């Protein structure tokens, strides 16, 4: 945990409420963006973050400082978002987030996987729609790692599963997302105009056998 967070937490526990306000100002945008990607509604995301900060303030004395403070806040926000989604089923499509929210992730520089080359606007809608088609387990891990930039250890702590499981889910999520976004013929190493040596348009690489002359 960084020294500023440690100092502000100590001040807050010492009775200085303004110190918690500084923590709120520091992390509310990142938490709002994360909540928005989970609940797909600006109003619901605002409620989630408000509830999360209230819960964090009431439980601040339980924070032991053995992890990043943001990770602790993220876990509270994640649980609040999941609780809200369970109350409001069926879940609204992720497309609503891409088209209506107007909010961008704070830091997507690490997102160099299937969606990295996509441009904004229409391509971004395609990305959001593709992410929405993933299973809940794969979608959550993908958003936490590639959009929110959490470490594997932090994601494992938030979800309560081993790091190996996180890596496996993330690998499968990226493969599924690639299959949804990138046509087979456009993937690296895929033939474009058939095999240049054999003329095989199927891309199988099998040399076609010559036809035998017909005998009447």
**Mean per-residue pLDDT of the chain:** 76
Q: For residue range 52-107, what is the model confidence (pLDDT) as tens digits? A: 999 999 999 999 887 889 999 999 999 898 888 877 754 334 343 434 433 334 44
Domain boundaries, the chain: 1-91, 107-187
Which position has the higher pLDDT, 192 or 123? 123
Task: Indicate if the pLDDT at residue 198 is higher than 60.
Answer: no
Q: Look at residue 89 in the predicted model and tell me its pLDDT.
A: 58
Cβ of 54: how many Cβ atoms within 10 Å?
Answer: 12
Fold (topology level) of 1-91: Rna Polymerase Sigma Factor; Chain: A (1.10.1740)
Best CATH choice for the domain 107-187 from the list 1.25.40.10, 2.40.50.100, 1.10.10.10, 3.30.460.80: 1.10.10.10
Q: Look at residue 111 in the predicted model and tell me its pLDDT.
A: 40
Positive or negative CA dihedral for 145, 149, 150, 152?
Answer: positive
Task: Indicate if the pLDDT at residue 138 is higher than 60.
Answer: yes
Q: Look at residue 82 in the predicted model and tell me its pLDDT.
A: 85
Where residue 116 falls among pLDDT bands split at 50, 70, 90? very low
Which pair of tokens denotes residue 31? 């938490």
Residue with structure tokens 């690490």?
A: 110
Which position has the higher pLDDT, 170 or 160? 170
DSSP letter for each residue of 115-143: TTT--STHHHHHHHHHHHTS-HHHHHHHI
Q: Are the CB atoms for 130 and 180 separated by under 8 Å?
A: yes
Backbone phi and psi for residue 210, each to the nearest 5 degrees, phi listed first: -65, 145
Prior bond of 210 cis (ω within 30°): no
Q: Look at residue 76 in the predicted model and tell me its pLDDT.
A: 93
Q: For residue range 5-30, what is the model confidence (pLDDT) as tens digits? A: 999 999 999 999 899 999 999 999 99
Which pair of tokens denotes residue 87? 């109350």
Q: Look at residue 58 in the predicted model and tell me its pLDDT.
A: 94
Q: Are the CB atoms for 67 and 76 separated by under 8 Å?
A: no
């Amino acid at each position: 945990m960084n020294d500023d967070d440690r100092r502000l937490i100590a001040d807050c526990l010492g009775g200085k409420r303004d110190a918690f306000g500084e923590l709120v100002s520091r992390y509310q945008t990142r938490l709002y963006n994360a909540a928005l990607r989970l609940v797909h509604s600006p109003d619901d995301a605002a409620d989630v973050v408000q509830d999360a900060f209230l819960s964090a303030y009431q439980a601040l004395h339980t924070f032991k400082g053995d992890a990043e403070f943001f990770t602790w806040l993220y876990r509270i926000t994640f649980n609040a978002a999941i609780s809200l989604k369970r109350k409001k089923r069926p879940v609204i499509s992720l497309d609503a987030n891409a088209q209506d929210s107007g909010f961008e992730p704070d830091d997507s520089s690490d997102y160099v996987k299937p969606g990295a080359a996509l441009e904004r606007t229409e391509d971004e809608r395609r990305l959001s729609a593709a992410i929405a088609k993933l299973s809940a387990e794969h979608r959550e891990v993908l958003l936490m790692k590639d959009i929110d930039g959490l470490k594997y250890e932090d994601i494992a702590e938030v979800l309560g599963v081993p790091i190996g499981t996180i890596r496996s889910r993330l690998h499968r999520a990226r493969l599924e997302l690639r299959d949804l976004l990138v046509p087979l013929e456009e993937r690296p190493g895929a033939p474009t105009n058939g095999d240049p040596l054999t003329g095989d348009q199927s891309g199988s690489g099998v040399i076609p056998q010559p036809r035998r002359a017909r005998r009447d």
